[in-house]
Amino acid sequence: MHPIDLAAFWPGYEVVACRQSTHDTLLISLEPQAERLPICSRWAKPNPLIHEQHIRQVRDRDLQDQRVLLQLPVRRVDCLYCGRVSERIDWLAPASRLPRKA
């Protein structure tokens, strides 16, 4: 068991795997919680029409002496209002491809 509740760092997601990628890098795989619908990044409303998803890898804040890489599916949705857009993930800053600091 990890002493830290990892899931608390990434709201709406759960940790499905956590493994040592290199001696100083942790690779953490996240999956969206089942009840969490993707949210349109423009309209900010939950959207059930998932078009596709791709796995994105982002660097997160270090955890003690470990670099942290996150792997998570980012979904594209067919929004009724905006068309095809990426979902919004609140803790993930789209520009930098790095999570915002809490």
Closest contact distance (angstroms) between CB of 82 and Zn ion is 3
The pair of three-digit structure tokens given for residue 25, joined into one six-digit string: 């890098």
Tell me whether residue 50 or residue 69 sits nearer to Zn ion (CB atom): 50
Closest contact distance (angstroms) between CB of 49 and Zn ion is 10
Interface residues with Zn ion (CB under 5 A) are 40, 42-43, 79, 81-82
Q: Is 92 exposed, middle or buried (0-12, 13-18, 19+ CB in 10 A)?
A: buried
Tell me whether residue 39 or residue 92 sits nearer to Zn ion (CB atom): 39
Q: Are 86 and 73 in contact (CB under 8 A)?
A: no
Closest contact distance (angstroms) between CB of 88 and Zn ion is 9
Rounded to 5 degrees, what angle do the CA atoms 41, 46, 52 make?
70
Tell me whether residue 72 or residue 87 sits nearer to Zn ion (CB atom): 87
